[in-house]
Amino acid sequence: MAEKGKMNVEHLGGVVRLREEHQKVVKDCESRILHWKKVSGDYEALNDRLKTLPDQLSYDIMVPFGPLAFMPGKLVHTNEVTALLGDNWFAKCSAKQAQKIVDHRMKYVKSELDDLSKTVKNFEARVGLVKDLETITSNKGDYVDIREDTGNSDIAVTKGRQRMAHKPNSKPKLDAVLDLKEEDEEDEGEGGDGGDGGDGGDGGDGGSRKGTSTEEELWARLDELEKLEELQDEQDRLSYNADMNGEDTSSSSEEEKEGDAAPPVNGLSLKPSRTSAPHSKEPPSSDRKAEEDDEEEEGSCLPTIFFSHTIEPKKVRINTGKNTMFKFSERKEQKELSKRKKKNGHNNGLSHHELHKITTPVDIYRLFVDVKNGEPVPRKSILKSRSRENSVCSDTSESSAADFEERRMIGRSFSHDETTHSDTSDGITEEEESPTAVPLHPASRFQAFSGTVVEKDPMPSAVPHLTIAPPALPTILERKQEEVAPDVGPPQQAPKRVSKFKAARLQQM
């Protein structure tokens, strides 16, 4: 502090001297300006006199006689002037010529004055600047010098402690609200350390949590965390690679896993662009996790659906409950779809490779390739693929039976999760074939569920999803309508909107 003060004083001294010098220059210039102004005034007077002098032939004047005395005299030759030109040169000239000379001198004086005033302005500005500098350096006035002292170790320690206090709060949060971030879930799966590493910003917290008081410990902790992060990164990368390689043939469970691993990077980045559906309430990660999760979800997000619990095994759904299951699962799928669109890491056999993260041209290629018997077959139309990719609805609209068969096959080969999806598609295809017959199906097969389920389901689900489904009408029909329209391959958002309007219209009717 004392040092700073001294420096300040020194600096101040310099500044003061600079200011004084500037002021001296300014004063000098001002005095010279005054002098020149006087000269110019004299010349003006002389000019006036010269103007009037030749008016008369002679003047009675008092002639100065030495410093004390005057004596009366007469001024003759009024038009005859001897002018000192300078450097001891004299010229005898008429009053008019003298006036010319005076004008010439006046010009010179004027230019001199201009120069001086310019100089004064310049130096006055400099003086102002120096004055500002002075006020700044002396820390008085409106100016505040922003100074930041380099980190005191004590301060750092206190900072760490504060953060330490934060950590315990955030930890339970992670557990309680694991919905918020799928990352969190992942991290939890990998362990608390992974979570720390993933959070990145928490690195410091981790260090402080240990209550490290010394810098070395802190740094050690940071290094550790960094390593962990690197490890995690590598894992992610590996899993991603595996995903790319084994997507076609590998079991759905594996894919699911991969999908889980992938999304934090991909899903986040894709979120803004792809999301058209309202944010789903459920945690996206959980829905992707497994079938059980899905079921739970359904329960949570569609509170009105009771049979979701009652109807237990998915196998049953697969085989028999085409319509009911279909509706049910369809909705689910819808939700999932919206999530999937966001996350893009879905596990549905088809959509899996379709909705893959697009990081390389290979991925793009994959988008438009169907897998038949484990071999990639290019699609006939990009539009088709796109619509299918974008929405389950489009799935339903897909009229190519072969494709569906193909898909179903894949789905069957996959785990139950997949099977449900494929099942849904099955149901949908059936619907498509005979839309009018749809309501009949439940009646014939699942008498108990048919009516109530069909009608009850769509309502609650439809409302939160801002979809469709007038209460009286079967969802399938509605779905169908939407699907047919966007078959050309519009972005996924379009069909939903259409459906919304249509729903409104229908409701009015």
Partner 1 sequence: MAEAIQKKLKGEVEKYTQMQKDVSKGMSARQKLETQLAENNIVKEELDLLDITNTVFKLIGPVLVKQDLDEAKATVTKRLEYINGEIQRYESLLKDLEKKSEQHRELLSSLQQEYQRAQGLAVGKV
The footprint of partner 1 (CB under 8 A) covers 82-83, 85-93, 97, 100-101, 104-105, 108
Tell me whether strands 69-75 and 369-372 are parallel, antiparallel or unpaired. Answer: unpaired
Count of other CB atoms within 10 angstroms of residue 369:
17
How many Å apart are CA 321 and CA 330, to the nearest integer? 12
Task: Choose between 51 and 104: whose C-beta lies nearer to partner 1.
Answer: 104
Task: Choose between 81 and 218: whose C-beta lies nearer to partner 1.
Answer: 81
- Rounded to whole angstroms, the maximal C-alpha distance in the chain is 148
CB of 116 to partner 1, least distance (A): 14
Task: Choose between 81 and 225: whose C-beta lies nearer to partner 1.
Answer: 81
CB of 102 to partner 1, least distance (A): 10
CA atoms within 13 A on the CB side of 475: 31
How many Å apart are CA 492 and CA 397, to the nearest integer? 13
How many Å apart are CA 237 and CA 262, to the nearest integer? 9
Strand partners, 70: 64
CA atoms within 13 A on the CB side of 196: 21
User: What are the residues whose beta carbons fall under 8 Å from the beta carbon of 96, sequence distance 6 or more?
Assistant: 50, 54
Please report which helix (H) or strand (E) contains residue 342, including its range.
Answer: helix 322-343
One-letter amino acid for residue 282 of the chain: E
How many Å apart are CA 382 and CA 366, to the nearest integer? 11
Q: Among 321, 319, 389, 379, which Cα is nearest to 349's?
A: 389
The residue length of the chain stands at 509
- Give the three-state DSSP class for 417: helix
Task: Choose between 12 and 93: whose C-beta lies nearer to partner 1.
Answer: 93
Task: Choose between 107 and 279: whose C-beta lies nearer to partner 1.
Answer: 107
CB of 92 to partner 1, least distance (A): 4
CB of 30 to partner 1, least distance (A): 20
Task: Choose between 90 and 365: whose C-beta lies nearer to partner 1.
Answer: 90
Task: Choose between 106 and 485: whose C-beta lies nearer to partner 1.
Answer: 106
CB of 86 to partner 1, least distance (A): 4
CB of 82 to partner 1, least distance (A): 7
How many Å apart are CA 341 and CA 334, to the nearest integer? 10
Task: Choose between 83 and 301: whose C-beta lies nearer to partner 1.
Answer: 83
CB of 84 to partner 1, least distance (A): 8
CB of 120 to partner 1, least distance (A): 20
Do the beta carbons of residue 355 and residue 480 sit within 8 Å? no
